[in-house]
């Protein structure tokens, strides 16, 4: 009789130890996955809350194109994040080329003007992007402009010069 009690006690203790070991192995993984899912969901929500539209473009000069980009989403962008924006420009049937954010005398580059009066690009405000091509003029034809923001949201506009 005593050996049955001892055997049962050993089995209960072994079960508790095995259960604790399994919980210690499983819970960190579950919490890590849920954190990843929450983080990804937050990024997706940020992109979904971001909406841009190129509302106007013009040939400002032979070597400069000007685009008015409207922020019609809920996300606000600080002016300090603008240098991290990526601007691409290319012909209608050619690959898009990265346009540098640094002023250059030989390579295409872009600059911006924020029209809202403060350092935040808020909903309903327009950002004016100027694409400069110092080496040559923009030839007549069809082009595409793509703007990608720091949160991954982007807009693309086809236009003709």
Give 69-89 pLDDT, tens digit per residue: 998 888 888 888 888 888 888
Give 96-126 pLDDT, tens digit per residue: 787 877 777 788 888 899 887 888 988 889 9
- Tokens coding 48: 């979904």
- Structure confidence at residue 152 (pLDDT): 82
Residue 66 pLDDT more than 60?
A: yes
Residue among 161, 126, 146, 113 at smallest CA distance from 55? 126
The architecture that CATH gives domain 52-160 is: Sandwich (2.60)
Question: What backbone torsions phi and psi does residue 12 show, to the nearest 5 degrees?
Answer: -65, -45
CA distance 96 to 140: 17
Would you say 146 and 87 are in contact if contact means Cβ atoms under 8 Å apart?
yes
Domain boundaries, the chain: 1-48, 52-160
Q: Where are the alpha helices (DSSP H) in the chain?
A: 2-48
pTM over 0.85: no
pLDDT band, very low/low/confident/very high, at 51 (cuts 50, 70, 90): confident
């Amino acid at each position: 009789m005593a050996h049955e009690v001892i055997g049962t006690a050993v089995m209960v203790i072994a079960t508790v130890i095995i259960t604790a070991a399994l919980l210690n192995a499983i819970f960190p993984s579950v919490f890590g996955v849920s954190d990843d899912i929450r983080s990804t969901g937050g990024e997706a929500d940020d992109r979904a809350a971001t909406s841009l539209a190129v509302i106007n473009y013009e040939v400002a000069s032979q070597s400069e194109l000007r685009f008015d980009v409207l922020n019609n989403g809920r996300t606000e962008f600080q002016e300090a994040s603008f240098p991290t924006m990526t601007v691409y420009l290319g012909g209608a049937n050619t690959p898009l080329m990265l346009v540098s954010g640094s002023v250059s005398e030989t390579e295409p580059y872009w600059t911006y003007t924020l029209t809202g009066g403060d350092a935040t690009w808020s909903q309903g405000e327009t950002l004016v992007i100027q694409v400069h091509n110092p080496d040559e003029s923009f030839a007549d034809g069809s082009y595409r402009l793509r703007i990608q923001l720091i949160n991954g949201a982007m807009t693309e506009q086809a236009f003709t010069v």
